Structure 1
Amino acid sequence: MKLVTRAAWGARPPRYDLAYIASTGGVKIHYEGTYVPKSLAAADAHSTCAGRMRDLQASHLNHPTEDYSDIAYNAVVCPHGTIYEGRGPHRKTGANGNSTLNARDYAVCAMLGNSGLVVPPDAMLDGLVDAVTWLRNKGAAGKRVAGHRDGHPTACPGDRLYEWVRGGAVRPDGESPQGGTEGEVPGSGIARYQVTINGLRYGYGAKGAHITAVGKALVDGGFGRHYKVGPGPEWTDADTRNYQLFQLAMGYTGTAPHEDADGVPGPVSLQQLLGKLPGKTPERTTTAPPFPGRSAFVLGKTNPAVTQLDGGLIRKGFTRHHDGNGYQAGSRFTTFTRKNVADFQRATPALAGDADGYPGPLTWRLLLS
């Protein structure tokens, strides 16, 4: 096991005392959920992983709404299999979704993204097993190994890593974590993730009148046998099971999570059920100001247009790169600005093929409108 302590990677002290926790039922696996460059997994890139830990901690300490006391995870595992100590054993995590879930399990995050590096390298899987074993030995973690999405509506830890979790969280050579796995992951067979269709959320934990409308349509169609009470405005496992019956009746196959008949709507089946696709009232859109020209964005130079650009990056959440004090709007086009623009470009299909971090007319319009 390769473990880097907080002091060794340069952790900042917590904002206030971390809550002590004697033991947990297990460990929840997470991923970063943003773009992570594939190059991070290169053999000669390991020296940058400690800096990435410092960036993760800084992003949590500067989070605008969560008021984290420290990096949220108990540990983070890099693509090279090294464990970076986060809050550590016997400290309540801040990452699992709410206070109850945070007290139930520790949280281990993989340096894995929803784009770029999305397939966990074998060394990372080895490191994740090492992290689980470490928290069992040093922090009295129980046998459960689960994904963040188990019990909380989120896409985390991503489909590829979640598939590994549901398969028993084993090493590439087939060895299970010390003590095996138990609890809510293996064998549940219930899809607990959300999708967005026409601006509305569907799937486990989604809420709203549109959820009630789906339930009523299922009952009217003869697909309501799993309801004991309801249907209601919050999507539950009963909604998933009933929607699965409807999908199977349509001829869909595959009932495991993320297969065609897993009980989570897609636009085709939803329109078939409701006769239309409900949608949110479109928000009033704004027109981007005129593009100032590429000469406004020269590395190290100042221009008022950079402040406008920064405003768009901040509004859309592309602020991962900064000097350690959070990303601030300003008139200087810095390397942090360029890297954040590149993240936006990679995440935008129309721009992903030319993600150099320098705004052109299309980047400017899509970011500011």
Structure 2
Amino acid sequence: MASSAAFCLTILSYQAIIPQVSGMYFVSREEWGAQPPKEDYTPMTDAKGVKIHYLGALFSGREHSECDDIMRSVQSDQMSGEYFDVAYSLAVCQHGYVYDGRGKGHRSGANGDQQLNADHYAVLAFLAKFGVTQPSVSQITGIQDAIAYLRRAGAGHEIKGHRDGYNTECPGGPLYELVRDGTLDPGELWDGGSHTVQAGENLDGISLKYNVPKRYIIQANKLEAPFDLIVGQKLEVPARGVPLGEKPPGGDDGDDPGDGGDKLTPFPGAEWFKSKPNSPIITAMGKRLVAVGCNKYGEGPGPQWSDVDQASYKCWQEKLGYTGADADGWPGQTSWDSLRVPWTGDFPAPDPILYEPFPGADYFKQQPSSWIVNEMSLRLVAVGCDRFSTGPGPEWVDDTQESYACWQTKLGYTGEDADGWPGAASWSALRVPRVTPLPVEPFPGESWFKSAPNSPIITEMGKRLVTQGCNEYASGPGPQWTDADRNSYRCWQQKCGYTGSDLDGWPEKDTWEKLVVPKTSS
């Protein structure tokens, strides 16, 4: 908390300037004229979240043109004392501008001691005990922006006041009340995309739909008052917690593979990880974990899922604020989306027992009416891509294509690749529940397996065993029956409740039918 001496300024009348159009107003150190730090920063590797601060005893309202001066004054006051730089990670003026301090990826010096600084980033609000004590609407939005910005850098979800864990009044009663009641939490972070205006929609509704402040949308689309919208108008809805014009960051710097506009790997499903996969996705995930400070690897990372991957992912879950059984190291949808793993060109095909295979691009261009379209549309709604004015239903309509284009955009596709016509990769990622009958392989007989066959049936059986968490394969599975197949099948028998001599790894009719092996052409 800065000393009050730096702010014993003549009290001016408070005139809040609320920008009519703005995105995340981010002011870099260069822009506000920061002095260089006297020492190297300590990396911030395991932030649980943020702590909110205020300036001190007195702060009078200022025109925004004076906010750079205030930031420089804070830094000068602190550097003339015990600090080697401004102590805060970020600061937010009353007009909603976010000022870069020590920044993301660096430990602050403002929370009270080394452990407190290691636990949380520090966000300063230009408020005080006397004078201007209540945050403006724009300042609240700016604080939310600052928190979102730090969460995108790996900070967990805790939001606390400076007084939590340290003997101080900071950040003052009014601001601390907003800490406690959740007002400062930015909520789920939208990663940016387009929206087609539907009948009856207005900016307020679109803002609520995406949890993106209205001013972001106004700024991004250069809208002018009174901001009337036209049905069919395409709007860009910017990402939350990202300076306007930038892409959502995935790590601490722009060289990070998760940063920028590259396509991202959708969540492959919890069971996929428990099958101990060997995939480029695991390598890409590991690199992202290293980039966000969750490196438990002695060497690598590599393509084979291992205990080290699980330990590194557990670190990431804890960074996001998960605890107990929710931080077990097995990836889940929310933590995976936050990690932003780059697209590798490899994606596990969904379990054909549970999910509808891709019907082919031409199927959709015939504008079918089918249960496949119905289930696909319900999935689009479930993943936040509801562009349906009515329904959804089994008919392929323009709204269906708009909704699918939203899904493609969520996956990182742009231009012609986000045209709303389903493709194999985006379809696999959507996980549409199966509605068409599945031909299954009949039981070939016990003696057939004991003849050590080489057959596509063995490959399909192995794939099914892997999806059920019974993966004893060093590589594969493949068409040749081996001890790895038998060991994997023994695992399946155990899952089915078999014991003793019945647990021998040789397939029999009952467990085979429960496994549901898809029919092969052989």
The TM-score, its normalising length taken from structure 1, stands at 0.44
From the CA coordinates, give the structure whose radius of gyration is larger: 2
The TM-score, its normalising length taken from structure 2, stands at 0.32
The structure with higher relative contact order (CA 8 Å, sep 6+) is: 1
